[in-house]
Amino acid sequence: MKRIVMKFGGPAVETTEKIQKIAQKAIAAQQKGYEVVVVISSMATIRRELRAQAASISDEANKREMDVLIATGAQMTSALLALAIIEQGGQAISLAGWQAGIQTDYRHGNARIETIKADSITQHLQEGCIVVVAGFQGVDASGNITTIGKGGSETTAVAIAAAIEAQQVDVYTNVDGIYTADPNVVENARKLTELSYDEMLELSNLGAYVLHPRAIELAKKYDIPVIVRSAEQDIEGTLLKGEVEMEKNLIVRGVAYEADIIRLTVGFDSNEQASLSEIFTTLAEAGINVDIIVQAVIDGVKPTISFSIAKEEFAESLRVLESSKLSLGFSFADFEVGLAKVSIVGSGMVTNPGVAARMFSRLAKEHIPVKMVSTSDIKVSVVVAQDQMVQAANALHDEFNLA
């Protein structure tokens, strides 16, 4: 029998009335002949209450105990959904992460799934149950409950799909699919019928937060079709898969943006002192993610290394650089705030030269200076002033005929 994994989170589970609607969808899928696993996030009200209770006790709560506490939110929500399915005449059982066999590493608050021992899930499916799994959680090798961090529920859904050899994953969200750009920012953005894993992965990493990159990476690795669709409307969503068959005429298939980018610049007195390896190893060891990198080495001019980081990592980056100034050998560090990253993505770029030039030409026409550039086979990103971010996104959406 075919198997399907359905993932619900956020607004889709915020009330018991909406949970009852999820129960209807799960039963309907089973009636179509599928064995059904539902992965569900915590109700936001429960999660906020749990965090508030912890904050009333401790300003810096123990990470292990916070994982134990926060995991109960999704467990409560999964039990409510199982109750709703049973009340509507179906068979269901809820499983916490550890009961579902989700094995993770030991990093509390941001664990990664290592393997899923899906025997319990498959047994319940064979018995005719809809299996409701509490997303966002697992258990480490020592038996400690862990939470998986941002994007944990959709990552759990894809990992379970791989473990039980499901035919697809349906991710139900507050949007009805993947758009060529954020429709709240770009007026003429339109929904895409299909998107490749690589394109979606780039869009996710560049600021389009519909799906977490970890979930997409897993889907690509195991070649699992993922459909992003509306939790409210019964309409077609966007299919993510290996190769896209439709809309092949689009060289660029999406525009993404990310606000609150900061450019850090480190200067050296000589080329011998400017070591890319040492700087970025030091930052990596501190857990700081560096994005766009530009090195300037010009005869007669002191060398500099510039890189972009997210606003949230600015203070820690300065602290790490200052504490390592002597060993890194730089003479000064400067920064620029009020920046944003705007990117174009499309697998068609590989066989169509001149896309970057066209992008730069349109930005110049719009009088938008480009401060940094990063490219790959299927994307070009530029750093611009944040107050020009929306203008740049709309201009590029128009330039590449995405409306």
The CATH code of the domain that includes 143 is: 3.40.1160.10
Q: State the average pLDDT for the chain.
A: 89
Q: What is the pTM of this model?
A: 0.82
The contacts of residue 240 (CB under 8 Å, 6+ apart) are 178, 194, 195, 196, 197, 200, 211, 216, 219, 225, 226, 227, 228
Question: In DSSP terms, which residues pair with 102 in a beta bridge?
Answer: 116
The contacts of residue 20 (CB under 8 Å, 6+ apart) are 84, 88
Q: Is position 356 within any domain?
A: yes
User: Using an 8 Å Cβ cutoff, are 310 and 278 in contact?
Assistant: no
> Is there a single domain that holds both residue 298 and residue 157?
no
> Is there a single domain that holds both residue 271 and residue 389?
yes
pLDDT reading at 212 higher than 90: no
Choice among 155-159, 292-296, 357-361, 387-391 with the minimum mean pLDDT: 292-296
Total structural domains within the chain: 2
Measure the CA–CA gap between 283 and 289, rounded to whole angstroms: 8
Q: What per-residue confidence (pLDDT) applies to 351?
A: 74
Q: Is position 259 within any domain?
A: yes
Q: Which of 155, 174, 193 is where one domain is finished?
A: 174
> Is there a single domain that holds both residue 170 and residue 263?
no
Strand 194-196 to 226-230 pairing = unpaired
Q: Which of 127, 156, 174 is where one domain is finished?
A: 174
User: Over the stretch 70-100, which tens digit does the pLDDT of each residue have?
Assistant: 999 999 999 999 999 999 999 999 999 999 9
Average pLDDT over residues 292-308: 81
> Is there a single domain that holds both residue 118 and residue 14?
yes
The contacts of residue 385 (CB under 8 Å, 6+ apart) are 338, 339, 340, 368, 369, 371
> Is there a single domain that holds both residue 159 and residue 297?
no
* Residues making up the chain, counted from first to last: 403
Q: Is position 292 within any domain?
A: yes
The CATH number of the domain where 389 resides is what?
Answer: 3.30.2130.10
CA 133-138-143 angle, 5° bins: 130
> Is there a single domain that holds both residue 152 and residue 8?
yes
Report percent pLDDT > 70 for the chain.
96
Which domain does 56 fall in, by range?
3-174
Average pLDDT over residues 4-20: 92
Q: What per-residue confidence (pLDDT) applies to 207?
A: 63
Q: Is position 188 within any domain?
A: no
Q: Which of 134, 152, 174 is where one domain is finished?
A: 174
User: Using an 8 Å Cβ cutoff, are 202 and 40 in contact?
Assistant: no
Strand 238-241 to 168-173 pairing = unpaired
User: Using an 8 Å Cβ cutoff, are 148 and 206 in contact?
Assistant: no
Instruction: Read off the tokens for 332.
Output: 């000064």
> Is there a single domain that holds both residue 13 and residue 111?
yes
> Is there a single domain that holds both residue 164 and residue 263?
no
Measure the CA–CA gap between 178 and 287, rounded to whole angstroms: 30
pLDDT reading at 339 higher than 90: yes
User: Over the stretch 90-146, which tens digit does the pLDDT of each residue have?
Assistant: 999 999 999 999 999 999 988 999 999 999 999 999 999 999 999 999 999 999 999
